[in-house]
Amino acid sequence: MYFANPWGLLGLLALPAIVVIHLYHRRYPPLLVAGLHLWGIETHTTTAGRTRERLPITQSLICELLAALVMSLLLADPRWGDVGKVVHLVVVLDNSASMSSRPPGLDENSFRDAAVAELDRRAKQLPRGSVVTLLRTARRPEMLAGPAVPWDEAKPKLDEWRPALPKHDFQPTWDLASQLAAETGELLFLTDVVPDEKVAVPKFMEVVSVGRELENVSISAARWDFNSQTAKGRVFLRLTNHGKRGATVRVAGSVGERTIFQETMALAAGVASPLEVEVPGGLGRLSVTTENIGDGLSLDNRIELIEPKIRTLHVALTLPKESPAMKAVQRALRGIADVSLTNADSAELVIASAQPLPPSRRELAWLGIGPLDPSDEARKSAQDLGGPYILEKQNLLLDGLTLSGVIWGGVQPLKLDVAPIITAGQQPLLSRLNGTRTTAYLLNLDFAKSNLADSPDWPILLSNLIELRRDNLPGLRRWNYRLNEEIRFRLLDDAPATTTENESTDTRPLLLEHRGQKRPLARAPIVEVPPLDEADVYTILDGERPIGEFAVNFFDSEESTLTGLRPGRRDPAEEAASSGFQIDQPLTWMILVGIALIVLAAFADWHVLRPVGRRT
């Protein structure tokens, strides 16, 4: 038993006050009469005064004591156990993929099922009238049921809890749960491993882990390349054994019921092994699965891959035919796949002489190769530089470049407004033109005086330029991603153009379709798809027209490692012991004042208002 308002027990002070009052009866006034002998025995009646006498056990005394006791208990609000107590239970559900793990055995439940059983047991023990709020962890907290709904209403919502997220931070969901629980609710976190002591969990949150150590083998990485010249593809996989024992894994790739390849691999404990398989072209979509006896997590044993599409880049060469620059460019282009030479009007990339400068067009990319001034006098006065070279390494155009041993010949003064990419001292060697909508690069170089064309850096530089321009072609850049990876693409050329800042010539919605559900995407020249947290195949729709489809797969080695999972419990931190009673109700002060006034009035009635006798 406990008291909701322990200050009310101060009313018990009225009990000794009543006893004292009855011990000291009121003093009767002296009365002078004639013929005292006529009064008989009444002349010996004792008059009460300040002298204590034997306590008279009367009905009045008993009733007064009982009344004072009952009033004090009513003010203190006694409660027995949880009778009459309404609880708000705020539950945080770990939405990580490891919660879907299932120990080997036909009768074994998954960790998710064990957590649901634990929650159901807790909910049935709650007092009548209690309410529940269910939250599941994510990058942004998700409310599964609630806030503050009866358990019968919240329980069916658990069918929507299918944990499958990669590793993520629980703190945002914990913070929301703490706000919902406030100071009177109860916090419960259901997971598969108790957080480390260094992790700052909410002070009054109870943690219950239903996990246990399991073996697991996963597909930790995958890529599908396609060669347009041979019309064949290659699938690259990486399999990782996250367990403590060796495993024999069967890997299979299929399209529908048709098996494309099948391999068996032996993996030692804690080892990752690559697998490369050639597949025919035209498959469109490939399902890859792994099988391993005793595997704890099925989510990372299957992936879907979409066959890459050929993205041919149309390049125009307008350099002088017999120039060293033309020969250097042609030689480098022979080693780059899916490049088609065309005229300047239909090209997506134009490689030309440094003069004249290109027109300003948003859809055009341009590379101008020196000499900047082709006159004999200017070429004779040009400089030949041997470094050191300063490279803007953050620029993707320079990925893989070293310029070791390169002589940069034929460098001329540059007076244009440019953003330098490669410099030697204060002299720009490779730069991007400013003040134009064209993606224009200027190469301050004379191939007749430079050995750049003979170095490995030249084909790398040109290949980087080709791939950067290819990435900006309309349509999807890639077709296979991992969960939470950034997905960006350019709208097709015939997508509706914007006529004004806020008005478009076409109101067709841009949609992301998944399992029959569609969500809108912001229409812009470069479309960004929000990070996706469910592994599956998605389709981009421009109105009713499909733009393309892509696959998102679960690759998270940290979440696939199940050897660190343990059952356990962490009780909430105890509140600091309070010294004495706490004033925790708004009427407490009024109750205290009322008790004090009652006690003072009782003593005043006995002491101040008593009749005073006088002699006559």
Span 566-587, pLDDT tens digits: 999 998 876 433 333 444 444 5
167 CB-contact burial (10 Å; exposed 0-12 / middle 13-18 / buried 19+):
middle
User: How far apart, in Å, are the Cα atoms of 11 and each of 4, 8, 16, 128, 497?
Assistant: 15, 6, 11, 31, 81
Helix (H) / strand (E) containing 210: strand 205-210
Whole-number Å distance between alpha carbons of 252 and 272: 17
Whole-number Å distance between alpha carbons of 69 and 54: 23
Residue 598, pLDDT score? 65
The SS3 assignment for 400 reads coil
Would you state the structure tokens that stand for residue 600, as one six-digit string?
A: 């003072």
Task: Please list the residues that pair with 92 across neighbouring strands.
Answer: 135, 189
Whole-number Å distance between alpha carbons of 124 and 154: 13
The SS3 assignment for 292 reads coil
322 CB-contact burial (10 Å; exposed 0-12 / middle 13-18 / buried 19+):
exposed
Q: In percent, how much of the chain has pLDDT > 90?
A: 58
270-329 pLDDT tens trace = 999 999 999 999 999 999 999 999 899 999 999 999 999 999 999 999 999 889 999 999
| Superfamily of domain 88-212 in the CATH hierarchy | von Willebrand factor, type A domain (3.40.50.410)
Region of residue 25 (left: phi > 0; alpha: psi -120 to 50; beta: else) = beta
Nearest to 328 by CA among 446, 453, 463: 453
Report cis status (omega within 30 of 0) of the bond before 356.
yes
Class for domain 217-308+556-560, per CATH? mainly beta
Nearest to 469 by CA among 370, 347, 354, 357: 347
Would you state the structure tokens that stand for residue 164, as one six-digit string?
A: 């499958």
Query: pTM of the predicted model, to two decimals?
Result: 0.73
Q: Could you tell me whether strands 487-490 and 475-476 are parallel, antiparallel, or unpaired per DSSP bridges? A: antiparallel
Residue 21 has pLDDT above 80, yes or no: no
Nearest to 458 by CA among 469, 449, 447: 447
Using the 8-state DSSP alphabet, how is residue 607 labeled?
Answer: H
Query: Domain coordinates of the chain in residue numbers?
Result: 2-81+594-607, 88-212, 217-308+556-560, 313-471
Residue 410, pLDDT score? 92
Nearest to 301 by CA among 137, 192, 164, 168: 164
Per CATH, domain 313-471 is 3.40.50.880: yes
Q: What is the mean pLDDT of residues 399-423?
A: 92
51-72 pLDDT tens trace = 555 666 777 777 777 887 878 7
Residue 609, pLDDT score? 44
Q: What is the mean pLDDT of residues 459-471?
A: 94
Q: What is the mean pLDDT of residues 444-464?
A: 93
Residue 15, pLDDT score? 79
124-175 pLDDT tens trace = 988 888 999 999 999 889 999 989 999 999 999 999 999 999 999 999 999 9
Contact call for residues 138 and 248 (beta carbons, < 8 A): no
- Provide the sign of the torsion angle of the four alpha carbons 194, 200, 201, 203, taken in this order: positive
List the single range of 290-299, 491-500, 518-527 with lowest mean pLDDT: 491-500
Longest Cα–Cα distance in the chain: 160
Q: In percent, how much of the chain has pLDDT > 70?
A: 83
Top pLDDT among 589 and 206 is at 206
Residue 85 has pLDDT above 70, yes or no: no
Domain 88-212 and domain 217-308+556-560 have a common topology = no
Residue 69, pLDDT score? 81
613 pLDDT band, cuts 50/70/90, is very low
